[in-house]
Amino acid sequence: MNHLIIYANYNDGSFNHAVRDNLESTYRSLGHKVTVRDLYAMQFNPVLTSDDFEKLRAGHLPDEIIEEQRYIADADVLTFVYPVWWTGMPAILKGYIDRVFLYGFAYKRGPNGVEGMLQGKKVLLFSSTGNPKKDYEGGMYDAINLTSNTGIFEYCGITVLDHVYFPSVLSVPEEVRTQYITDSIVLVKRLFGGTH
Compute the Cα dihedral for 165, 194, 156, 25 and give only its sign. Answer: positive
How much of the chain exceeds pLDDT 90, in percent? 87
pLDDT band at 49 (very low <50, low <70, confident <90, very high): confident
Residue 196 confidence (pLDDT) above 80: no
Q: What is the pLDDT of residue 56?
A: 83
Q: Do residues 118 and 158 lie in contact, with contact meaning Cβ atoms separated by under 8 Å?
A: yes
Each residue's pLDDT tens digit, 20-39: 999 999 999 999 999 999 99
Each residue's pLDDT tens digit, 124-179: 999 999 999 999 988 999 999 999 999 999 999 999 999 999 999 999 999 999 99
- Give the separation between CA 192 and CA 18, rounded to whole angstroms: 20
Q: pLDDT: is 48 or 74 the higher one?
A: 74
Q: What CATH number is given to the structural domain containing 137? A: 3.40.50.360
Number of domains in the chain: 1
Q: Note the pTM of the prediction, 2 decimals.
A: 0.95
Range of the domain at 22: 2-192
Q: Do residues 77 and 124 lie in contact, with contact meaning Cβ atoms separated by under 8 Å?
A: yes
Residue 53 confidence (pLDDT) above 90: no
Q: Give the helix/strand (H/E) hosting 4.
A: strand 2-7
Residue 7 β-bridge partners:
38, 81
Q: Do residues 123 and 80 lie in contact, with contact meaning Cβ atoms separated by under 8 Å?
A: yes
Q: What is the pLDDT of residue 92?
A: 98
Q: Are strands 77-83 and 122-128 parallel, antiparallel or unpaired?
A: parallel
